Structure 1
Amino acid sequence: MRAVDGVSFTVEPGTITGYLGPNGAGKTTTLRCLLGLVTADSGTALVNDRRYVELPHPLTEVGAVLEATNFHPGRTALNHLRVICAAAGLPPERAAEALEQVGLGEVAGKRVMTFSLGMRQRLALATALVGHPRVFILDEPANGLDPAGIQWLRGFLRHLAHERGAAVLVSSHVLAEVEQIVDNVVIIAKGRLVRQGSLAELVSNGDTAIRVRAADPGELVPALERAGATVVQSDGVLRVTGLDAERIGRIALDERVVLTEVSQERSDLQHVFLELTGEGETS
């Protein structure tokens, strides 16, 4: 069974691309291919037109976060980054600078074993930053962050892409969060590409639904379905697709059903994701 099959996309400088798919879709495998951790049977995964293993100084070109557990627990945050800098031939002062960038300056001297998951996630981001790269590959970067940390991450990623001109690829299962920060979306399912494009195009092309509340939905739903609509009921609300608001109103009038709400529902990323993959909001 192929983990990833024929997936092809480009992440442009100055943009944030969300890489989405159900659990087991092949997202992490794709990122590992990009970083040379997995060898593909065919095809190429390129960073700045070269394979990762061919980059002479990879940390100055690519910042990657795949997990926030690859730290020696007895080292301090500052010493961890100093080791990274020494191995990559980077100035040692970059360690302290990167910790300040991610909000860990005050705990630079603390051992990693004392860090929360959110602090480890920030340390992983600092590791990705030390070489001033222009490409970032991030797998679940919000994992473990509290609400304030997530808000900080939004601004941080926007700064990297929109102000510094970096190309940012973010894999995440939190669709509502992704929708707030990305410019483009790539969706895969069962290892295959199912949709890609700008977030605005993807959402605008989704199936727009009409939100309906009725005094007697039991009478209204069969009539709507006979007219060709798809109706999903949840907590007393009907989500109707396939008919416009005027047609729904006329059907309700014919059936003598009182409507208490008729409004157009925005086709957001989660609805598009569900329609394309048939899955829930999973990673």
Structure 2
Amino acid sequence: MQIVTALSQISDRYEALFVDLWGCVHDGVRAIPGAVEALTAYRDKGGKVILVTNSPRPRAGVARQLVGFGVPETAYDDIATSGDSARLAMFDGIVGRRVWHLGPPHDAGFFEPPSILSDPAPIERVSLDQAEGIVCTGPFDPSADPGTLRPELLAAKTRGMKLLCANPDIVVDRGEVREWCAGAIAALYTEMGGESLYFGKPHPPIYDLARRRLARIADIPDHAILAIGDGPATDAAGAMGEDLDLLFISGGLGAAETGTVRGGDPDPGKLDRWLGEVGIEATYVIGTLR
């Protein structure tokens, strides 16, 4: 493992980047300036950037959101979202045709059929008691403990319903506020004996989608791809599972544990201990993407 202070120290070794969004490129409120500058500079030298995010939104929805955060299109080539990966499975009928949407109203775009499907299964959103399966894009209230959903999840488990998880993230930090994600609900459902189906990081489908997005613009082998992210159970585990080199962002979800102050570098001793505890094998570590 090598601690670096800038992406440019290692970027010449790679032809493409698979970059996490939340905690790496933006904080849920605004763009991280150093990250935008680093990615733009990398692309200016010919590198390709695929944003790989566990957002349940379709690619177009994430692109619109990035504009609002101040992330310019010059910072990336394409986007692969867990939402798109999960939508393909949903419109194949993986959890049935009548589904209960467990998620906020602003995720309604998830239920728009992908243009790449010629014959999508008709999907109808219904109440839980009429549903064949659950589509979880996130909690109704991201500040509420997922345990408040136990009654609904128990009813679903009793009926043998599958839960499609459109975002495997457990938590994210929106600015200074930590919020629960769909992954926390899916984990609880599994713990209760239900069956949860995942399509975002660290699971293979989203990496297959990212490689497809990359292949449309360049033919780049895996050994020339660098994964960048801050989530131990998602970004790091995914990169390790896909045998991709990893630049781990210590100033994201693991900032406190690694002693990474805002805009600074991790404490080497705390970093080594924590990486060992969570089982991360990072090729490189940086405090923030810059």
TM-score category (smaller protein): 0.3 to 0.5
Question: Which of structures 1 and 2 has the larger relative contact order (alpha carbons within 8 angstroms, sep 6+)?
Answer: 1
Q: Quick check: which has more Rg, 1 or 2?
A: 1
